[in-house]
Structure 1
Amino acid sequence: MRFELASVPGTAERPNEDWASLSLPATGQGGSLVVLDGVTPPRGGDGCVHGVPWFTSHLGGALLELSGSRRDMPLSEVLALSIRRTADTHRESCDLSHARTPQATVVAVRWDGESVEHLVLSDSTLLLESPNGVVHAVLDDRLDRIPREVLRSVSATDALRNQDGGFFTAAADPGVAARAVTGTTPRGDVRAVAALTDGASRWTDLFSEGSWAELMGLLRKEGPHGLVGRVRALETADAGRGGGKRWKIHDDATAVYAEFQDPVGPPGA
């Protein structure tokens, strides 16, 4: 199997708020990967003394551990328990009722010899590639449905966070896990997967450099570091033209690429 990961901060002045990791059991059968994109709060605070990187590392660690140790739970339940555990670690010191309490988008994938299970919450992207090269993008597009002029208002955006008619992220309420986009695909129907924060998916969904299938081909050829490098070049060129394509010149960018071996093969293959 082939696994590659890249996570690059948007600027040197701020810590990377993305988090990504993967795990493979000692048996060599199956595995899990998790990618989080921490939501940068606007000025004015978020009621938490720890900050977004602390939150994403705690939530990501819980998600990765539980996705492996609680294979009896669907990923939506794993996410709910992970959110609850993370909230419990700072419930006494922080205001978890604050609309901007630390939060993150989520992509989680778990596989074994029979199936590939996935979960997507908010605007990170999961790509599933079939053995014949067809790429399916798993997207939670609720944030995209909100007009940009609404999102430019902090108060209007706060009113839509984790609310019906708005958008959902992993924050302090385990109930949002039920809002995630989930599914299961037969293992033999998946050749490779890619998980991307929106800082990496810009190559396709912002700059329109190629389709999701072409992005998957780029990952296979150049790896996640190659993709992020191309995104950075596009961002720099866009900034030189006045920056009409994005709100941030550079965003934290994370990509995980996993290429599976044939599930049907001789022992030890």
Structure 2
Amino acid sequence: MRTELVSEPGSPDRPNEDFASVGLPASGQGGSLVVLDGVTPPSGGTGCLHSVPWFTARLGGALTELTVSLPDVPLAEALHRAIARTSAAHAETCELSHPRTPQATVVLARWSPTVVEYLVLSDSALLVEAPDGAVTALLDDRLARLPRSALATDALVDSTLRNKEGGFFTAAADPSVAARAVTGVLPRDRVRALAALTDGATRWVEKFREGDWTDCFGLVRKEGARALVDRVRELERGDAGTRTFLGRGKTHDDATVAYAEL
């Protein structure tokens, strides 16, 4: 097995809000991959004493442990338990009902000798390569399908769309959101490799249109996860003046790539 993790903050002046891990059970019979993208809150408070990196470290740590130690528990149930555990850690000190309580997107994958399970919640991506080289993007596209007019302001998003029916969902304080994730199971012999990317890395495809998901996966396989992040940074710097592709988005976002050849 070959695994590779790269995670880089969008700015050296701000902590990285992403989380990534690969867990390999002592039995050597499988493994798991966890990638979270912490949601940067707008100014104005979150009702929480803790930072987004605190939240992603807690949630990511719980998911890493649960996906490895409880191989028979479905990934959605593992996410449910991890959210509940993280919420309990600060329920007495923080307003967890606040729409901007710390939260994150989630990508999980777990493999055994017979199957590969996956879970995707919100706008990070999981790419799956088959033995013949075909690449499938497993996405939760609810946020992408919303009209731009519905995303005009943070207040509008928080009041009408964030973690609401007809909108989009992230892992925040309510464990029931785990049932909203995109999940599935693939035969192990149909998966050669996996790549999980936060939206700071998917910019190569989704914002800059440098290639499709197959091209993106090929770049990671041939040149490594660092090469993809470096290419994104070059494109961001080149677009910073005109903002042709970036628009109103951040010039640089936290970017994480986790790759595993099974």
Specify if TM > 0.5. Answer: yes
Confirm or deny: 8 A CA contact 1:120 1:138 kept in the other structure.
yes
Partner AA of 1:134 in structure 2: A
C-alpha separation between the residues in 2 aligned to 1:148 and 1:47? 27
| Number of residue pairs aligned between Structure 1 and Structure 2 | 260
C-alpha separation between the residues in 2 aligned to 1:147 and 1:57? 32
Give the C-alpha shift of residue 244 in structure 1: 4.3
User: Which residue, out of 243, 252, 261, partners 1:259?
Assistant: 261
Confirm or deny: 8 A CA contact 1:243 1:249 kept in the other structure.
no
Confirm or deny: 8 A CA contact 2:207 2:245 kept in the other structure.
no
Counterpart of 1:46 in 2: which secondary structure?
Answer: coil
Structure 1 residues 49-73: Cα deviation after superposition (integer angstroms, max 9, x where no partner): 1110000000000001001111121
Partner AA of 1:252 in structure 2: D
Structure 1 residues 32-85: Cα deviation after superposition (integer angstroms, max 9, x where no partner): 010000000001010111110000000000001001111121000000000000
Give the C-alpha shift of residue 12 in structure 1: 1.1
Confirm or deny: 8 A CA contact 1:46 1:99 kept in the other structure.
yes
2:114 aligned with 1:114:
yes
Q: Tell me what 1:209 maps to.
A: 210
Confirm or deny: 8 A CA contact 2:5 2:258 kept in the other structure.
yes
2:178 aligned with 1:180:
no
Give the gaps of 5 or more residues in structure 2.
none
Taking the TM superposition and a 5 Å limit, the aligned residue runs for 1:21-100 are: 21-100=21-100
Give the C-alpha shift of residue 155 in structure 1: 1.3
Confirm or deny: 8 A CA contact 1:192 1:259 kept in the other structure.
yes
Give the C-alpha shift of residue 13 in structure 1: 1.4
Give the C-alpha shift of residue 149 in structure 1: 3.1
Q: Which runs of 4+ in 1 moved over 4 A?
A: none
C-alpha separation between the residues in 2 aligned to 1:63 and 1:138? 19
Q: Tell me what 1:165 maps to.
A: 166
Confirm or deny: 8 A CA contact 2:22 2:31 kept in the other structure.
yes
Q: Tell me what 2:19 maps to.
A: 19
Structure 1 residues 117-168: Cα deviation after superposition (integer angstroms, max 9, x where no partner): 0000000000000000000000001111222233231111102111001100
Q: Tell me what 2:5 maps to.
A: 5
Partner AA of 1:206 in structure 2: K
Confirm or deny: 8 A CA contact 1:33 1:64 kept in the other structure.
yes
State percent identity of aligned pairs: 63
C-alpha separation between the residues in 2 aligned to 1:63 and 1:122? 16
Root-mean-square deviation (CA, aligned residues, Å) is 0.9
C-alpha separation between the residues in 2 aligned to 1:86 and 1:74? 18
Give the C-alpha shift of residue 91 in structure 1: 0.2
